[in-house]
Chain A
């Protein structure tokens, strides 16, 4: 059994899944992931849609993406245990240890901050890697191309300054 899927096969399979999801045989909608977060935050923090209009906007796509992401937890768990054999508990990624530092506090602090602004950013733009990059650019949408360009540049610039020993 192959323990890693090559990038080209992953790309082909991902596009098949995307087209299936878009089609009337699948879900008649794009793939997306980040709308789920404000939707479920509303449930966890006990916010009422009557008081906060954003909850009304995200209710339906948020619920859809919630069920989809529950599936992705199961899918990721199955392949990590049985195929790639990468399931293990860890706190600091190896790459962080080598290119940033060995501090649990630092990694958890930056994870929290990163997760926080990742969602604020995705919601300001109206989508994330799945919704804008994959689904949006596949529809040749200008909004997604603008987002994609800004994200690529910021990602590379941040990576260069945030990590030590990053390639030029």
Chain B
């Protein structure tokens, strides 16, 4: 394949990506793009895409990521339960493939600590100019290539059999509402109870006016790296 043929195959593959979304029935291309803008905007505005936030959490120096994540899950679990009950949404449960979840979770957690990003926060960091994250994304594409290539012969067997798609709602039966409320409220309490610790990056803060700096008038535990 010549270079020209290669680029035209990539371009037609990318055009097909938009075509799939347009005909798939999970929101128009514009709608999905708009969801992405909000997703990236919220992540960037709260700064949870930063190395200091994710690797900082791994080091035990920053707790903004777990606080925000547990709060979001706590609220969503309650709201989503009632939205599904009223017919405004449906369940999309991932199967319990035990060895896949455990081996995958170990690889994912270790990589997240070293890289300081995850698949959703990575693109946001690239958008604000982080070149190391772009290199990590290329590493990720090679990972995706290896997974595509050896799924049938290797990874599928590693993932193991599915043990169903159990949830709190399916096991709780008649008490589902109570269980979901306890789960959601419990997570909200956990989010509030985790002590707030922050690791700030001075390179980000130095462009702000003194009174705009979030490390000013901070009462909680924090540290600025320069």
Within 8 A of A (CB), among B98-119: 98, 100-119
Within 8 A of B (CB), among A108-139: 108, 110-139
> What is the total of A-B residue contacts with beta carbons within 8 Å?
552
Contact of B75 among A15, A62, A70 (CB under 8 A): A15
Does B222 have its Cβ within 8 Å of any Cβ on chain A?
no
Q: How many residues on B have C-beta within 8 angstroms of the other chain's C-beta atoms?
A: 148
- CB neighbours (8 Å) of A47 from chain B are 145, 148-149
Contacting pair B59 A160 (CB below 8 A): yes
Contact of A80 among B44, B118, B140, B213 (CB under 8 A): B44
A contacts with B: majority SS = helix
Min CB distance, B193 to chain A, in Å?
13
| Contact code string B12-39 (vs A, CB < 8 Å = 1, else 0) | 0110111011001111010111111111
What size tier do the contact residues of chain A reach?
A: 35 or more
Contact of B138 among A5, A112, A159 (CB under 8 A): A112
- Chain B residue at minimal CB-CB distance from A126: B94
Contacting pair A8 B71 (CB below 8 A): yes
- Chain A residue at minimal CB-CB distance from B36: A71
Contacting pair A140 B169 (CB below 8 A): yes
Contacting pair A79 B45 (CB below 8 A): yes
- Chain B residue at minimal CB-CB distance from A14: B72
Within 8 A of B (CB), among A35-87: 36-47, 52-55, 59-60, 62-64, 66-80, 83-87
Contacting pair A17 B38 (CB below 8 A): yes
Contacting pair A147 B104 (CB below 8 A): yes
Contact of B76 among A7, A72, A138 (CB under 8 A): A138
In the docked arrangement, what's the CA distance between A39 and B124, Å? 19
The 7 closest A-B pairs by CB, nearest first: A71-B36, A159-B58, A114-B115, A154-B109, A72-B40, A125-B104, A150-B105
7 additional A-B residue pairs with CB within 8 Å, beyond A122-B108, A162-B114: A41-B143, A80-B127, A111-B115, A118-B108, A120-B107, A155-B58, A160-B59
